[in-house]
Amino acid sequence: MRAVIVTIACFLVLVSCGSQPIPAGDVAFVQQAPLGAISRGQFAHWIKVAAARPTSSLPAGIPDAPSYAKCIQQVKSEQLSDQQKLSICKARYQSLRQQTLRFLISSRWIAGQSQAENISVSEVEVEKEISRQIKRSFAGPGQLESFLSERMMTRQDLAFRVRLNLLAGRLRAKANATPPKPTERQIKDFYQTNSRRFGQQASRDVQLISVKNKQLALLVKFSLERGINFDRVARRYSQDKISAASGGRVTVSAGGLVGEGLEKAVFSAPLGKIQGPVLSSYRYYIFRVLKARPAALQSLSETRPLMIDLLTAQLKRQQISAYLKNFEQQWKKRTFCASDYTIDACTSR
């Protein structure tokens, strides 16, 4: 049922604020928004909703600020001091307070922006969405009522949240209604920046033997240079058991997982010649290169469709980010909070 809960954080990015005098009895007021006033009664109701679920340290309920005497007794740990428990209670209350105020202020912002953009949601659409959620999450309406009761919510509260969720979704959809089209210059620049992701890195097939002792490494190299079978020596002496099982055969890719010293030596070595010992990642390596493969990058024409898709997705993210930034700046200027209810969504004017 979490899907019916409006996640305003996905839709809004809130920034720093201050406070302004507002009418008595209200905790905040958002100009040019339908029902822009937020009363103390509304705040009290929704903070109960926010506090209806327990945490790992505290049971459900609002901590009894400012004394927190009852809350301290409820903290689920006998190992903590009263001061530590007090800190937990204060943090819980502040979190609930912030969460509730952000939700209520965000609801006015969404309603105001929806009105400005002529976006609406009908009662029929709200009820249809509620029914869809019931079918997906519950065996029947009775379970929904139990769910709402546990969370201190009414059916009207649920409808309020569902409406906000639908409005937020339509605002997002409208912001993305005209997909940005990348220019030829942008496509070419994107390819130049990301072309290495689309192709095969240079690699070399090698046989190697890994040991921790330099003297043993020199002995291994001496044996190989005198014609002792590489596979047999690798299986007997190599301390890299995975490669030893295949006679020391591995593939080393540019920018891969082997140590920098070994990679540099492998890519500078001639084919077929015994090399080493090379110290890399606290081990000594004796190796020979069996085969070299150059890097094979795909051309712009080959990757063009994928480049356009990736670039378009990036431009869409930038487009919605710009929309949200403007949205935030616009509505924050219209949001005034009582001095004891200020959060980072309030204007500092």
Residues 214 and 174 in one domain: no
Measure the CA–CA gap between 201 and 255, rounded to whole angstroms.
Answer: 8
> Which among 348, 349, 342 is positioned nearest to 28, based on CA atoms?
342
At residue 4 the predicted structure's pLDDT band, cuts being 50, 70 and 90, is very low
Measure the CA–CA gap between 31 and 33, rounded to whole angstroms.
Answer: 5
Question: Tell me, what CATH number does 214's domain have?
Answer: 3.10.50.40
Residue 96 lies in a domain: yes
Residues 238 and 333 in one domain: no
Residues 167 and 241 in one domain: no
Q: Report cis status (omega within 30 of 0) of the bond before 59.
A: no
pLDDT of residue 141: 65
Q: How many domains does the chain have?
A: 2
Residues 135 and 215 in one domain: no
Q: pLDDT at residue 64 above 90? A: yes
pLDDT of residue 61: 95
Measure the CA–CA gap between 70 and 50, rounded to whole angstroms.
Answer: 19
- Mean pLDDT, the chain, integer: 88
Residue 73 lies in a domain: yes
Residues 138 and 268 in one domain: no
Parent domain of 263: 201-297
Q: pLDDT at residue 137 above 60? A: yes
DSSP 145-197: HHHHHHTT--HHHHHHHHHHHHHHHHHHHHHTSS-----HHHHHHHHHHHGGG
Instruction: Provide the total of helices (H) and of strands (E) in the chain, helices listed first.
Output: 12, 9
Q: pLDDT at residue 307 above 90? A: no
At residue 96 the predicted structure's pLDDT band, cuts being 50, 70 and 90, is very high
Mean pLDDT lowest among 28-42, 230-244, 291-305: 291-305
* Cα angle for residues 192, 200, 275 (degrees, 5° grid): 120
What's the pTM? 0.67
Residue 275 lies in a domain: yes
* DSSP 8-class letter at 346: S
